[in-house]
Amino acid sequence: MRFGSDSDQDPVLVSVSTTRPRLSLLFDSLRKKEKGNQNKSRRDEADRSIAPEPNLNPSEREIERRKKSNLFEEEIMAWQQPMDGSHASGSKAAAAVADGPGTQRTQYPYVTGSSIIALKYKDGVIMASDTGASYGSTLRYKSVERIKAVGKHSLIGASGEFSDFQEILRYLDELTLSDHMWDDGNSLGPKEVHSYLTRVMYNRRNKFDPLWNSLVIGGVKKGPKGEEKYLGMVNMIGTHFEENHIATGFGNHMAIPILRTEWREDMTFEEAVKLVEKCLLVLLYRDRSSINKFQIAKITTEGATIYPPYSLKTYWGFAAFENPAQGAVGSW
């Protein structure tokens, strides 16, 4: 189940540091003064910095006073970082709000995996991804498995922060183990795993310490109405849904149109592999963070199969690839 022992992990994957930034000291003193609607009032203050209100109550006046110090200004900046996954390196991105005093958690991803493609086919669900992981924008790791089996009936695939995915796998290991230990003939199906992960993801987002992933859960389980295929996803803010075909990350832009036109309910495994490979190839050409080493996995009533990685044949002779900047005004 593990990707490597703790000892051989890249030091950068260790995501908890114990520095206590001065900002949080300031923040704490503010919190004492102003119990209650922290978030809102700070946002209000940020707006007021454009046109200050003359009539302020004492606590607001205090904040106004503090705001004169640029430290507080910086903190507001940190809060207003867009959550789009862009690396806010060097800024005060990681605000110490996730935990109690003394702990600061990484709030932006370091090592990330790219898209996951998944779809239902005749006998079950097929899932595919490349095996790369980037350190920022550097293609740093070339063979990591981003698709794993969960229990007897499910597969999980993850885009986004790789260490967060490892933590999620640890949760799921614990969950399936304790489920198995009941030994009562009941077992968690893909729907239950998906719902559980939805709760975990949304809970962490509400602690302002999200698990920086988009997760895809696929599976097949025998229900009272016969075999039931399941495919769903949940992302770092807890948004979740079920679909017949799902693509995360860049795939959500590049692969979904292909899947929408070419997906059918009764595809054979071979047809499904072909469709998935088409999506992966488009992503390989267009997504700079994808690599030419892919892994395909399937889940049926027989169980999960994760195939060994392989490469696809590429053709770079297309006219658009020869001189990509041609016709793109303003680029170099």
Partner 1 sequence: MFRNQYDTDVTTWSPAGRLFQVEYAMEAVKQGSACVGLRSRTHAVLAAANKAASELSSHQRKVFRVADHAGVALAGLTADGRVLSRFLRSECINHAFVYDAPLPVSRLALRLADKAQVCTQRSWKRPYGVGLLVAGLDESGAHLYYNCPSGNYFEYQAFAIGSRSQAAKTFLERRFEGYNDYTPEQLIKDALSAIKETLQGEKLTSSNCTVAIVGRKDDGTVEPFEMIDVKRIQEIIDSMEAAEEAPAAEAESSSMQEEDKGTDAAPMDI
For residue 211, which amino acid is it? L
Radius of gyration of the chain (CA): 23
**Closest distance between partner 1 and the C-beta of residue 310, in Å?**
36
Angle at alpha carbon of residue 131, lines to 299 and 167, rounded to 5°: 75
Catalytic residue at 268? Answer: no
Q: Please pick, among 18, 19, 103, 106, the residue that the annotation labels catalytic.
A: 106
Please report which residue ranges of 85-184 form alpha helices under DSSP H: 162-182
Output the six-digit token pair for 13. 């994957």
- Interacting residues with partner 1 between 213 and 272 (CB under 8 A): 223-226
Query: Which residue of 82, 185, 308, 330 would you call a contact of partner 1, by CB under 8 A?
Result: 185
Which position among 188, 217, 246, 279 is part of the footprint of partner 1 (CB under 8 A)? 188
In sequence order, which residues have a C-beta less than 8 Å from that of residue 158 and are 6 or more positions away? 113, 116, 146, 165, 168, 213, 214, 215, 216
Give me the helix-helix angle, 22-33 and 70-79, nearest 10°.
Answer: 90
Q: Which of 120, 191, 245, 298 binds partner 1 (CB under 8 A)?
A: 191
Cβ-based nearer residue to partner 1, 97 or 220: 220
CA distance 53 to 38: 18
Q: Which is nearer to partner 1, 192 or 287 (CB)?
A: 192
Question: Which CB, 172 or 291, lies closer to partner 1?
Answer: 172
Strand pairing class (133-135; 111-113): antiparallel
| Residue whose tokens read 């779809």 | 119
Angle between helices 162-182 and 190-206 (to 10 degrees): 130
| 189 binds partner 1 per the rule CB under 8 A | yes
Least distance to partner 1, CB of residue 186, Å:
4
Measured from the CB atom, the residue of 223 and 257 that comes closer to partner 1 is 223
Q: Which is nearer to partner 1, 199 or 253 (CB)?
A: 199
Torsion of CA 88, 94, 95, 100, to 10 degrees: 170
Binding positions for partner 1, 199-218, rule CB under 8 A = 199
Residue 79 binding partner 1, by CB under 8 A? no
Rank residues 189 and 218 by Cβ distance to partner 1 and give the closer one: 189
Give least dist CB 191 to partner 1, A: 6
Q: Is position 180 an interface residue for partner 1 (rule: CB under 8 A)?
A: no
The CB-of-201 to partner 1 minimum distance in angstroms stands at 13
Task: Give the residue carrying structure tokens 């017949």.
Answer: 244
The CA distance from 3 to 9, in Å, is: 9
CB 149 within 8 A of CB 302: no
Which of 55, 68, 182, 313: binder of partner 1 (CB under 8 A)? 182
Binding segment (CB under 8 A) for partner 1, from list 39-47, 135-143, 178-186, 264-272: 178-186
What region does 313 belong to: left with phi over 0, alpha with psi -120 to 50, or beta?
Answer: beta
How many residues bind to partner 1 according to rule CB under 8 A? 16
Query: Which residues of the chain form contacts with partner 1 (CB under 8 A)?
Result: 182, 184-186, 188-189, 191-192, 194-196, 199, 223-226
Annotated catalytic sites, by residue?
Answer: 106
